[in-house]
A and B are shown apart, each in its own frame.
Chain A
Amino acid sequence: AQSVAQPEDQVNVAEGNPLTVKCTYSVSGNPYLFWYVQYPNRGLQFLLKYITGDNLVKGSYGFEAEFNKSQTSFHLKKPSALVSDSALYFCAVRVSNFGNEKLTFGTGTRLTIIP
């Protein structure tokens, strides 16, 4: 079975500081990893994904994430936080086998950027 853990329900960061939102995963096989963001009363918006290749992937709004196979982690990062980054963030995983289409999500991390 595949699973995702987001160990922090809430992360608070001062505006301008770097931010990290943590994610670890468990799958049998090679993972496809995703980050999504949800603003209040909205659906999920795709931020970035790791498929293969470079372990550091860049996405929308200045976010990036680092894939670490040995630690089975895919932490979301941004060098300098903005107040507008305040939202709910979800990490998700899927195995890279054709036919297994199930995308499993973590429980979410609420990011609050303090002005």
Chain B
Amino acid sequence: DVKVTQSSRYLVKRTGEKVFLECVQDMDHENMFWYRQDPGLGLRLIYFSYDVKMKEKGDIPEGYSVSREKKERFSLILESASTNQTSMYLCAGRNRGNPNEAFFGQGTRLTVV
């Protein structure tokens, strides 16, 4: 079975903290993605990576950064967490170049207080 695993299901952090959300996939996928999901807004792409050490901004990258040092791991970083970053965060992986579906992790619900 393909697997995308996010390290935490629930996180509570304080305003101003540096926050790391970790995602690991075992499918040898080139592409990995970070989305945030908010009611009424659907899924919005924050960042994606198409190879190790490669990254591209998505639709809402402000306040976030990412790291991909190894193919299987894609980290989302909130440099200084703010309350408007309270959300559900979803990681996904997919093979590049084919019309394949993306596989999603179970999500991390982050609350910034």
Contact residues of A with B, CB < 8 Å? 6, 9, 32, 34, 36, 41-46, 49, 51, 90, 96, 98-99, 101-108
Interface size for B (C-beta < 8 A) is: 27
| A103 smallest CB distance to B (angstroms) | 6
Closest A residue to B50 by beta carbon equals: A101
Residue numbers in A under 8 Å from B99 (CB-CB): 32, 49, 51, 96
A103 with B107: in contact, given A32-B99, A51-B99 (CB under 8 Å)? no
7 pairs of residues in contact across A and B, judged by CB atoms under 8 Å: A9-B40, A41-B107, A44-B43, A45-B104, A96-B99, A101-B50, A106-B42
Residue numbers in B under 8 Å from A105 (CB-CB): 35, 42-44
Residue numbers in A under 8 Å from B107 (CB-CB): 41-43
Taking a contact as CB atoms under 8 Å apart, the answer to whether A90 and B42 are in contact is yes
| A51 smallest CB distance to B (angstroms) | 4
Taking a contact as CB atoms under 8 Å apart, the answer to whether A103 and B90 are in contact is no
Per a CB cutoff under 8 Å, which of B4, B35, B94, B103 touches A101? B94
Per a CB cutoff under 8 Å, which of A41, A46, A99, A106 touches B101? A46
Contact residues of B with A, CB < 8 Å? 4, 9, 31, 33, 35, 40-45, 48, 50, 58, 90, 92, 94, 96-97, 99, 101-107
Chain A residues touching B, majority SS? loop
Per a CB cutoff under 8 Å, which of A32, A99, A103 touches B33? A103
A43 with B106: in contact, given A101-B48, A101-B96, A102-B58 (CB under 8 Å)? yes
Residue numbers in A under 8 Å from B92 (CB-CB): 44, 103
Residue numbers in B under 8 Å from A90 (CB-CB): 42-43
Taking a contact as CB atoms under 8 Å apart, the answer to whether B48 and A102 are in contact is yes
A42 with B42: in contact, given A101-B50, A101-B94 (CB under 8 Å)? no
Taking a contact as CB atoms under 8 Å apart, the answer to whether A101 and B101 are in contact is no
Taking a contact as CB atoms under 8 Å apart, the answer to whether B97 and A98 are in contact is yes
A42 to B90, CA, bound (A): 10
Residue numbers in B under 8 Å from A101 (CB-CB): 31, 48, 50, 94, 96
A51, A99, A107 interface centre (most CB from chain B within 10 Å): A107
